[in-house]
Structure 1
Amino acid sequence: MIRVGVDVGGTFTDVVLERTRNGEQEVVVTKVPSTIHDQSEGVVAGVLQVCRAAGVEPGEIDILFHGTTVATNMVIERNGAEVGMLTTKGFRDILHMARHKRPHNFSLQFDVPWQSKPLVKRRNRIAITERIMPPDGSVEVALNEDEVRAAAELFKKRGIDAIIIGFLFSFLNDAHEQRAKAIVREVLPDAYLCTSLEVVNVIREYERFSSTAMNAYIGPKTALYLKRLEGRLRDNGVTAMVRIMQSNGGISTVAKSSEQPIGLLLSGPAGGVIGGRWTGGHCDTGNVITIDIGGTSADISVIQNGEQRIKNPRDTEVAGLPVLVPMIDIDAIGAGGGSIAYIDPGGAFRVGPRSAGASPGPACYGRGGTEPTVTDAQVVLGRLDPEHFLGGDLSIDPERSKAAIAEHIAGPLGMDVTTAALGILKIINNNMALAINANSVAKGIDPRSFTLMGFGGAGPLHSVALGEMIHAKDVVSPLQPGITAAMGLLVTDLQYEYTRSVVAMLNSADAETFAKINAVADELIAEANAQLDADGIAVADRRFRKIMECRYVGQGFELRAEMPAEPLREDNVKVVIDNFFDVHKQQYGHAFRDQVTEGVTLRVVASAAVEPLRLPSLAEGGRANPDDALLHVRKTVFEDGVPVDTPRYDRTKLLARDTVAGPALITQHNSTTLVPPGFLATVLAHGDIRITRV
């Protein structure tokens, strides 16, 4: 069995190949520059390169896992499809009015993204005569099929081929949406067409309409990308199954991802969180704060007791727009190796979020970049050696870094280049520390009992400084920091989620209510089984979890509460209620256990485990600052600004229980781990490194 994971970042595309031969696993990793104009070019280049490194033919790959930022970039850059919408008469402007929220309450110049950059222009939102009524989904006004056909003809005339249908209360009765879809399909047989119930079958018309609009906005280009990727892989001899990383931490098929690309909006960073959880497992720590620092962004998440957190539905948004799909709780900020340092018009010293990206890249790359970046600061301080950068695959020029910092920062501020470089790192580290606290302390997590795990190409250069700033218990540098997100793809389960609105007072539920909830759960499980049948998953390998999204009566949004595996009954409904109270206490610091709990949405999570990635144990070493791994000694600048002799160690030559005392740099192909003075790095059984203060 040969499996490949490919994670596309803003600067580099990371690739890992895992092969099982004679009962033993072999892991080969590589990095190639990302091709932003068409990510599939970089993906295929990376796959071919890792195959050459592993000595295998592309056709021998059995399965390829892919994390992509195609969908996310489309929303951020606002270059998706032109979308048409059919909705209930009188509700044409739901997407404009939204929830009447002000993104910034006290700003006079705030931007409202759903109004300034709508996913569906008003002229393309056509109102249709129809009306479904609560609470039973009865038809108050029949669907006017002539209006639907006329609207479809108008869309055809305008050249719109991405169309959504979202009617009021359709989650109670989807007959009108399905009939309208059939009519539109007759007029536009090749259109990218979806109903709100197919995307998010839940209560709340604004969030449901917006999520469906998002699905259609990114749908055509995402489907085209995935089709082009499969074609380019086949043209290069790769005939393997392709699976795509989802925002919820699971993987899905190309067909399913093309139909519902809304599930890919956090595809890129999700692999890193899964990789961090897996690494924490074999480092004997279930409490981990992960920070994935690449070239353009830093993605932050928390793993508590070995489980990644799923965002509250009120927080699942992308570029300021609500997206009602499950997402791992990840915060992303514009901070990475390519983040540009500059003096703003007011004279303030800033770093990021603007990035030099893969092209032209930092000044030291010599590819046309002239502005100083975080990577340039690391080079000036002697923390990145030219001959060891990406194992020597990428040449860097320290003089270009010095010139860029001198011209843009040191000169204007009247300081020397070393001080300016230290200033760049202090600013970017403070930005990241604030973001870490927002994802941990502000959500009830005490970092003092957590391990900070820094990965991505730049993560281990910053992780000790960040660990000190947030008072983390210790710091871990994974075995392959620059490839951790790609490795996470190889330990991710196939996973789907199915939802249905089932509004019910749980405390006073009767037999009829329980029967209704259990019937919905059975229907969702049947849907999941149909999908798993199509994927060829054996019945014995399937797993199902039931979740009830609950709230107090009158509360605005819900929290996820685990349900019992068996049908819900009067004697076990308290399990759901107590789970809701516990989650509410963790999220908000209190729980009103004497109040009535309302179930709003039933969710079934269907999954199938993949073969786990197993790392071999290193040979025992137990050496202190081993000479066998020493490369050379060079001057390096740390926080005090004084250059000190700092040894470089080859990470591939370190053995289990070896220790390296700071100051030191531990180098490898895809990253460099910084061990400052006063810290000790200890190599763990599988090659991960734990760094603690002496």
Structure 2
Amino acid sequence: MKRIGVDVGGTFTDLVLWDDDGTVTVHKTPSTNHDPSIGTMDGIEVLAQRAGIDVADIEMFFHGTTVATNIVLEHNGSDVGMITTDGFRDLLHIARKKRPLNYSNYQDLPWQKWQLVPRRNRRTVPERMDAAGNVLTPLDEDAVRREVALLRERGVEAIAVAFLHAYRNPTHEQRVREIIAEEYPGVFVSLSSDVASQYREYERFSTTALNAFVGPKTSRYIENLAGKAKAAQVGEDVHLMTSAGGLVTSRSASEVPVSLLTSGVVAGLLGGCFIGKASGYPSVITLDVGGTSADIGVAPDGKLRMKHLLDTRIGDYHAMVPMAEVDTIGAGGGSIASIDEGGMFRVGPRSAGAMPGPACYNRGGTEPTSTDAMVVMGWLGADSFLSGTMEVKPELATEAVKTHIADKLGADLEHAAMGIFQILAHSMTEAISLHSVRKGYDPREFSLVAEGGAGPLYAWQIAEHLGIPRVIVPGHPGITSAVGLLTTDVRYEVPTTVWTSSAEPDLELLRREMDRLADQAVAQLRADGIADEDITLERSVDCRYVGQGYELRVPAPAGEITAEWVEQTAATFHEVHGRTYSQRFDDKPVQLVNIRVTGVGAVEHIRISEIEKGDADASGAIKTTTQALFWKNDSADPEWVDTPIYDRALFKAGNTFEGPAIVQQFDSTTIVGIGQKATVDAVGHIIIERSA
């Protein structure tokens, strides 16, 4: 079976083709941001040519995209109308009491400054449910028809429907959808009971509105890409990565596009987990550095950590959808270095992107970037970019760093270039510390997986700063996110709110709702063509102590739901709470707030083949030497050092070499620092450690 993974980033589109005989073919191409499907399909054509196959031979197509994310961050979504319960018109405006600046009376609140739904388009109708889902006020259908007609006249492109307590009884919302289909056929409809079927009014309303905001544009993109893929006979359907680390079909993604908000970012974390396990180091920290940003994830024992649903934001908006815990900072190969008006030396978060790109690309960019700094330092040469197929001009990098940084600081060129690198490396180090040390994980117990085109350029230094014992550089670091797309399964998570206590559990409620969620998850997988024998179900529960305002997600046991099942779930919560907050209260009852069933449809995963074995001598892979700038520690002055450049394609398993060294390949460049050694393992990954 031949399958392809395509991850569209802000600068490059990464593609990987995997054949079940173990053959792997990779390609990178500049992203076409005005229409990402163009770059995707063109890249697939080139990739197929490289592999010597026809595009119609590709049987499965997996995709990670930033389309929905970019719509939110750029505030250019659709015109949205909302229909909600009488009295709740301004819930989206009020939000929570927490503000970006708690003590300031003068601040722009992002969700008010850039409203998902303007107030004039937030319409209310008589209807009311109680917290148990009982009807207090019947739905006024005539009022619904009037409000839909008004929104139709105003030309809204999407309608969000969010009623109070609809997570307990969705019948009113479902009836509104039927009325909208009659009165305004073709408009995109987003129901809170479909998008976020759990309690917390503001977060549920915000997520529903966000789904409507990104819905029309994202669904059009997905349908456009799926149509092009079908015309080219690429796979049976396009499967897209969700923010929770699972795959969904193009149909499901078009209906709930809010689930795609951190699509490509999570794929990088999954790819890093896959790489770590293949090298025998399952606990990993992933550092995925692209042209615009750096994505950082922590996976103890190779397992994704999920964000708390009150922390699942995209930009300035709450998105109460499952998200793997990955942090993104503005640090990448295109990060622009500058001296601000106060004389402060800054690097990022502003980026040169793909166009005009770094100065050395010769596409019109004149400001120095971190890529230009590494050209000046001798780490990147004219043949470093896509194996020399992408022309660069080192003299333009030198001019940019000298003019904008060195001359303004009164520093020499070497210190200016080194400063750009060190500032960006420090930003990444701080972000990793935030997501490991400050959350109870010791980075010295993890391996750092260097991903993206620029990750292997920074990882050696970051590992030194944090005491991480080893860096793992995948065989194709520049396309690790695309690889991650091929390592997971089709997944649907279905939640609901139950509100019961371990002291007096409502077992009948738990059984009924868990069965309902399981049936819903299985139905979705069957609709996607997943056979019953390939379907498994996973349970989890959001728990908290009485009086707490936040829950922790814990895995729930399989089997019949009994009093013992509840006790076991509560015991797991005590353990998780103790690890998370360093305190546990075993004598306190536990509230079971939300229950979740995740339906998993198994998809055959890729495997990494072992490479040809060799001896310890790696000198046969040296293609040349160069003068490159290195230092022994942070306080040392940089020195020009004779540095070997290795061709990664010539490595054999067992090869070892000492730093300083530069390793070149098509999609990335790896740096091994002074005092470090590198070993090529059985599957071709480079393992960088401190020299003995």
The residue identity in structure 2 corresponding to 1:611 is E
What is the DSSP-based 3-state SS (H/G/I as helix, E as strand, rest coil) of the residue aligned with 1:193? strand
For residue 428 of structure 2, the aligned residue among 414, 432, 436 is 432
1:240 is displaced (CA, Å) by 3.9
Residue number in structure 2 paired with 1:323: 319
> 2:215 maps to which residue?
219
- The structure-2 alpha-carbon separation of the partners of 1:106 and 1:664, relative to structure 1 and needing over 3 Å to count, comes to farther
Residue of structure 1 equivalent to 2:3: 3
Q: State the secondary structure of the residue aligned to 1:151.
A: helix
Cα distance in 2 between the residues matched to 1:274 and 1:156:
43
Check the 8 A contact 1:313/1:559 in 2, yes or no. no
Instruction: Note if contact 2:469-2:690 (Cα within 8 Å) is conserved in structure 1.
Output: no
Give, as a single letter, the amino acid of the residue that structure 2 aligns with 1:405: V
Q: Residue type of the partner of 1:8?
A: V
Q: Does 1:540 align with 2:526?
A: no
1:238, distance to aligned residue in structure 2 (A): 3.0
Q: Of the candidates 597, 602, 614, which is equivalent to residue 609 of structure 1?
A: 602
SS at match of 2:280: coil
How far residue 601 of structure 1 moved from its aligned partner, in angstroms, is: 0.7
Corresponding position of 2:590: 597
Give the Cα–Cα distance (whole angstroms) in 2 for the partners of residues 568 and 112 of structure 1: 45
Structure 2 counterpart of 1:558: 551
Distance 1:593 1:284 in 2: 36
Three-state SS of the structure 1 residue aligned to 2:268 is: helix
Give the Cα separation in 2 of the matches to 1:379 and 1:533.
52
Deviation at 1:609, TM superposition (A): 2.0
**Unpaired runs of 5+ in structure 2?**
632-636
- Mapped pair 1:29 → 2:26: yes
1:393 maps to which residue?
389
Answering whether residue 619 of structure 2 is matched by residue 627 of structure 1, we say yes
| Alignment pair present for 1:577 and 2:574 | no
2:665 pairs with 1:668:
yes
CA contact (8 A) 1:276 1:290 kept: yes
CA contact (8 A) 1:88 1:129 kept: yes
The CA deviation at 1:531 is: 1.2
Structure 2 residue aligned with 1:127:
124
* 2-structure distance, mates of 1:217, 1:166: 14
1:235 Cα deviation after fit: 4.3
Deviation at 1:109, TM superposition (A): 5.2
**Residue 19 in structure 1 maps to residue 19 in structure 2:** yes
TM-score by length of 2: 0.98
> Which residue identity lines up with residue 613 of structure 2 in the other structure?
E
Aligned to 1:56: 53
Q: For 1:207, which of 190, 203, 209 is the aligned residue?
A: 203
Any unmatched runs of 5+ in structure 1? none
The 5 A counterparts of 1:472-483 are 472-483=468-479
* Partners of 1:280 and 1:604 in 2: CA distance: 28
Whichever residue aligns with residue 460 of structure 2, its letter is V
1:154 aligns with 2:146: no
Q: Is residue 2:179 matched to residue 1:183?
A: yes
- In the TM superposition, what is the alpha-carbon distance from 1:515 to its structure 2 partner? 1.6
SS of residue in 1 equivalent to 2:563: coil
Deviations 1:464-516 (A, max 9, x none): 1011112212111111100111011111111110011111012321xxx1121
CA deviations 1:52-78 (Å, max 9, x no partner) are 100111111101100000000000001
Further displaced range: 276-285 or 528-537: 528-537
Q: Aligned residue for 1:283?
A: 279
Cα offset for 1:37?
0.9
Contact 2:292 2:332 in 1 (8 A): yes
Shift in Å, 1:175: 2.0
Check if 1:498 corresponds to 2:479: no
1:132–1:139 CA contact under 8 A, matched in 2 = yes
Q: Offset of 1:406 from its aligned partner?
A: 1.1
Question: Who is 1:97 aligned against?
Answer: 94
How many angstroms does 1:154 deviate by? 0.5
Give the letter aligned to residue 312 of structure 2: T
Q: In 2, distance between residues paired with 1:369 and 1:582? A: 53
Report matched runs for 1:517-528 at 5 Å: 517-528=510-521
CA distance in 1, matches of 2:611, 2:389: 26
Q: Which whole-Å CA distance do the structure 1 matches of 2:348 and 2:101 have between them? A: 21
Paired residues, what number? 686
TM superposition shift of 1:557: 1.6
2:685 aligned with 1:693, yes or no? no
CA distance in 1, matches of 2:216, 2:195: 15
Letter in 1 for 2:168: L
Partner of 2:634: none
Give the drift of 1:688: 0.5
Shift of 1:237: 4.8
Aligned to 1:649: 646
Q: TM-score normalised to the size of structure 1?
A: 0.97
In 2, distance between residues paired with 1:444 and 1:561? 17
Show the 5 A alignment for 1:359-378: 359-378=355-374
Distance 2:308 2:430 in 1: 21
Letter in 2 for 1:633: T
What is the alpha-carbon distance in structure 2 between the residues aligned to residue 546 and residue 238 of structure 1? Answer: 34
Output the amino acid matched with 2:513. Answer: V
List per-residue Cα deviations over 1:190-237 (Å, max 9, x = no partner): 110121101111011101000000111100000000111122334445
* CA distance, structure 1, for counterparts of residue 431 and residue 114 of structure 2: 26
1:415 maps to 2:407:
no
2:466 is aligned to 470
Distance apart, 1:106 and its partner CA? 4.4
Residue identity opposite 1:415 in structure 2: A
1:45 matched to which residue of 2?
Answer: 42
- Secondary structure at 1:387's aligned position in 2? coil
- 1:348-394 per-residue CA deviation (whole Å, 9 max, x = no partner) reads 01000010001110000001111100000010000012123211111
SS of the aligned residue for 1:81 comes to coil
State the partner residue of 2:629.
637
Question: Matched residues, percent identical?
Answer: 46
Contact 2:61-2:235 at 8 Å conserved across structures: no
Most deviating of 162-171 and 227-236: 227-236
The 3-state SS of whatever aligns with 1:395 is coil
Q: 1:383, 1:181 → 2: CA distance?
A: 58
Which segment is superposed worse, 645-654 or 591-600?
Answer: 591-600
CA RMSD of aligned residues (A): 1.2
Q: What SS class does the counterpart of residue 540 from structure 2 fall into?
A: strand
Counterpart-to-counterpart distance in 2, 1:601 and 1:167 = 19
Asked if residue 242 in structure 1 is aligned to residue 238 in structure 2, the reply is: yes
Q: Is the 8 A contact 1:82 1:162 kept in 2?
A: yes
Matching residue's letter, 1:558: E
> What amino acid does structure 1 have at the position aligned with 2:293?
S
State how far apart, in whole Å, the 1-side matches of 2:292 and 2:578 are. Answer: 35
1:144 to 115, 140, 143: 140
Aligned partner of 2:561 in structure 1 is 568
Which digits, 9 at most, give the CA deviation of each residue in 1:247-288, with x for residues without a partner? Answer: 000000000000000110010111111100000111111211
* 1:241 Cα deviation from its structure 2 partner: 2.2
> SS state of the match for residue 623, structure 2?
strand
Counterpart of 1:267, as a letter, is S
**Paired letter, 2:19:** R
Q: Is contact 2:226-2:237 (8 Å) kept?
A: no
| Aligned partner letter, 1:296 | T
Q: Which amino acid aligns with 2:4?
A: V
- Deviation track 1:544-564 (CA, whole Å, cap 9, x = no partner) reads 001111111121121111111
2:295 is the alignment partner of 1:299: yes
Q: Deviations over 1:20-73 (max 9, x none)?
A: 3xxx22100010001111111111111111101001111111011000000000
Letter in 1 for 2:325: D
Give a deviation string over 1:600-634, Cα, whole Å, max 9, x none. 1110011122212112111221323x222110010
